[in-house]
Structure 1
Amino acid sequence: MTLSVPVKIPEVGESISEVAIGEWLKHEGDFVERDEDVVVIETDKATVEIPAPESGRVTKILKQEGDSASVNEVIAYIDSDAVNDVPKKNAKSNNRAGQRDEAPKKPVGAPDDLEKPTTDQRHTDEMTDSTASSPKTNGEDTSVQPAAAANLEPESDLREKTEEAGTLDSLPAQNRQAFDEPAQTLPHRPMEEHDREPAIAPEKKDRMQSARPTKPVQDRQQTTERQDKTVPMSQLRRKIAERLVHAQQNAALLTTFNEIDISAVIDLRNKHRDAFAQKYDTKLGFMSFFVRAAVEALRLVPEVNAEIHGENIVYHKFFDIGIAVGGGKGLVVPVLRQAERLSFGEIENAIADFARRAEQDKLTPGELHGGTFTISNGGIYGSLLSTPIVNPPQRAILGLHAIQDRPVARQGAVVVRPMMYVALTYDHRIIDGREAVKFLKHIKNLIEEPVRMLLGI
């Protein structure tokens, strides 16, 4: 009796009740090992691989790619009594194919390869031989003019004519001489005036050019193909679009800007770069400074770390900082849990791991769930200034941008400093402009004097 084991959609998040089938890694008739990935599903935050509950052969697939499925819904069946005989058959067929296709390989640099000239070499040799064999007499140019060379009959043609005629004696004397003596080059003769083509009068030339038929513009346009490509939006992209539109339509969003001198952070990084990398096995970047600065600014301005639940405002006493990163299938925001407890090294390692796994679509829904505040660094793409959109249900987001050398005033003098624009987009329903400016100024002070973060001042 065949035992069919169902493949079900697991629970992938607290608030996720429906997913989309992204890609089937195994198809009907394929053998799968226990815990081997069978299908990739997409949620509104990430992609997740579902492993096989048992070893066996996939007998039935109930949901196709792009279909929606609910949590705990059966999407496929596996025959756990099936035996995996595919590898043995493949091995035998591969051996037979290898014996048939096996042929002695010519070693690199064999004599034939070394003696065979390349196209460029042959072209160069031909040019060299033709140049060297061109006879010159008494310093005069005796090269054959094109028109004269065309009138000479090649030796092979003369021999064919001779064979048809019967004997050499029947040839004229000048042709018979071609067999006995090498061909002589003609002396150079300067071009006479009568050899030149007569010039065409300007007015006649214009009439001739205007009389030439031209290709109609419509025909030329038809030869250029203008094509469109229609691709359905993935589940992840649809959810991102829905959340962004929802955020714009259901919040009173406002953006406040400031500018930060990054000189102190750059100097600190350059001074301790090697020691930091040796201890934490990662680079000392800029994000760890801004994460720590954001935590301190959130302590100072708790409204930025709050949410709206109905008619209530919920102030979070913990700091789960979301880090927006570009994934293989779109923007994702993994969360640094309790960032206030993390060291610079732990923050840098976590962000590097997020970025690497986001590119591979390996982040789990649990890592993408929640968050009380988000930092988005568009500067890595070269963005100079932007207005980021909040990530609901959060009420604020900090946008970082590219660092550029700009002239600034310092103690009455104009100097060049590495500067960065920062932007805070916030929900004006619970965060006033005063709080937003206060938040950004505290970020600015901590980044321009990073030692204050270490001293807690």
Structure 2
Amino acid sequence: MATEIKAPTFPESVADGVVATWHKKPGEACSRDELLVDIETDKVVLEVVAPADGVLKEILKNEDDTVLSAEVIAIFEAGAAASASAPAAESAPAAEVTAAQEEPILSPAARKMADEKGIDHAAIAGTGKGGRVTKEDVVRHAEQKPAPASAVQASSAPQVEATTPVFAGERTEKRVPMTRLRARVAQRLVEAQQTAAMLTTFNEVNMKPVMELRARYKDQFEKRHGVRLGFMSFFVKACAEALRRYPAVNASIDGNDIVYHGYQDIGVAVSSDRGLVVPILRNAENMSLADVEAKIREYGKKAQGGKLDIEDMTGGTFTISNGGVFGSLLSTPILNPPQSAILGMHKIQERPMAVNGQVEILPMMNLALSYDHRLLDGKEAVTFLVTIKELLEDPARILLEL
């Protein structure tokens, strides 16, 4: 029985998608829920799986083709057996057949990296689900790859005179198309800088109180709630309280109108193999520290596995970006339109600080708040950031809403 394979139904915020990778060929047998094709949108990569055991009969949309929401992209026949569409393969040498059967399944990011590095796909050991090769597998293979024989011979050869000309290695270049997600991120960043009157204010926070509280209760917290107590939950709750006090920071501009939101949907920027994504903590003002940590952990796993849904990243009234995990000491984050502000966290570093006339070594973090000056005045932005600083330096105020 022939069945139409359709692209996923995109939400209103996503106009179309692009066929990234077909994992099955026409005439090839498929098991139920086996991955057929990846469709890349400007937010996430969506996977389309087989509806039943059967055969992929015909592909209607090839790789790099643009597809609309719920558009038919292939024909699938349930219950059918794989066709012998390639008789030449049956008569091929056994070694060639074995190699074809052992061709691993690569994720789009892994395939792109392997091609860029010139690595044979069949030589990479996959550790993903069903033996799928991930980007980390490619990186691991590249690090373990032995040096070419020519390089070994060159290192063991006697030294030549200094007058012998030394030729540089091959100067190769490779042009690859920008992924749809990366192109959309680039477009939004440029739009933010071109349309908003963006300004950044800075402050610093003493992280010692939060670190001491975390060290004191982290074991009990994990035992009680099943998740680790991190720093991000304190920042989310501090931002939620500060947004409640300064609703203009939580607002957005829509044409000539200012839209004030009666909820705090805080986005947390996450780096994934396919680019920067910002999943949303909805109604963060009503979430506990444990709720925040559990949701961030869930989003982190989904981001690394490419499983984030479009709904996970739609909306948001404020964003937190943590460049500190990569070692950044100071940055000026770019707004995430149509939001009016974004908070940048940075690396915690011990510094000598003057405390009551005495010099103490304290774990300090720089904070950066970029905001849209069309909507926010300097006073509101600065006092908002100072409020976050005060809440973090006395965490009890977060619980007491002081």
Return the TM-score normalized by structure 1: 0.69
Q: CA deviation at 1:378?
A: 0.6
- Bigger radius of gyration, 1 or 2? 1
| Residues 294-303 or 22-31, more deviating | 22-31
State how 1:267-416 maps to structure 2 within 5 Å: 267-416=212-361
- Which residue matches 1:230? 175
Q: SS of the counterpart of 2:70?
A: coil
Cα separation, 2, equivalents of 1:447 and 1:229: 47
Cα separation, 2, equivalents of 1:45 and 1:302: 28
Structure 1 segments, 4+ long, off by >4 Å, are: none
- Which residue matches 2:399? 454
Cα separation, 2, equivalents of 1:395 and 1:456: 24
- Which residue matches 2:17? 19
Amino acid at match of 2:243: L
The 8 Å contact of residues 405 and 417 in structure 1, kept in 2 or not, is answered as yes
Task: Kindly tell me the number of residue pairs found equivalent between the two proteins.
Answer: 330
**Structure 1 stretches lacking a partner, 5+ long:** 98-211
Q: SS of the counterpart of 1:260?
A: strand
- Which residue matches 1:215? 164
Which residue, 254, 259, 263 being the options, matches 2:204? 259
Query: 1:336-371: per-residue Cα shift (whole Å, max 9, x none)?
Result: 111111111110111111112111111111101111
Q: CA deviation at 1:335?
A: 0.5
Amino acid at match of 1:348: E
Query: 1:240-290: per-residue Cα shift (whole Å, max 9, x none)?
Result: 111111111111111000000001000000100110010111111000000
Q: SS of the counterpart of 1:453?
A: helix
- Which residue matches 1:6? 4
- Which residue matches 1:239? 184
Residues 1:37 and 2:35 are matched in the alignment:
yes
- Which residue matches 2:104? none
Query: 1:278-332: per-residue Cα shift (whole Å, max 9, x none)?
Result: 0111111000000000001101111110111111000001011100011121110
Which residue, 443, 450, 453 being the options, matches 2:388? 443
Q: SS of the counterpart of 2:204?
A: strand
Q: CA RMSD in A?
A: 2.1
Q: SS of the counterpart of 2:74?
A: strand
| Residues 342-351 or 3-12, more deviating | 3-12
Cα separation, 2, equivalents of 1:213 and 1:372: 64
Residues 1:432 and 2:377 are matched in the alignment:
yes
Which residue, 46, 49, 54 being the options, matches 2:47? 49
Q: CA deviation at 1:54?
A: 4.3
| Residues 349-358 or 317-326, more deviating | 349-358
Cα separation, 1, equivalents of 2:212 and 2:252: 37
The 8 Å contact of residues 35 and 49 in structure 2, kept in 1 or not, is answered as yes
Cα separation, 1, equivalents of 2:81 and 2:173: 47
- Which residue matches 1:79? 77
Query: 1:144-167: per-residue Cα shift (whole Å, max 9, x none)?
Result: xxxxxxxxxxxxxxxxxxxxxxxx
Amino acid at match of 2:54: G
Q: SS of the counterpart of 1:402?
A: coil
Cα separation, 2, equivalents of 1:296 and 1:254: 22
Amino acid at match of 2:41: T
Return the TM-score normalized by structure 2: 0.78
In 2 relative to 1, CA 23–303 (structure 1 residues): closer, same or farther, beyond 3 Å?
same
Cα separation, 2, equivalents of 1:54 and 1:275: 46
The 8 Å contact of residues 61 and 76 in structure 1, kept in 2 or not, is answered as yes
Q: CA deviation at 1:70?
A: 1.0
Cα separation, 2, equivalents of 1:227 and 1:295: 50
Amino acid at match of 1:374: T
Q: CA deviation at 1:388?
A: 0.5
Cα separation, 2, equivalents of 1:24 and 1:261: 51
Amino acid at match of 1:73: E
Cα separation, 1, equivalents of 2:316 and 2:276: 15
Residues 1:249 and 2:247 are matched in the alignment:
no
- Which residue matches 1:195? none
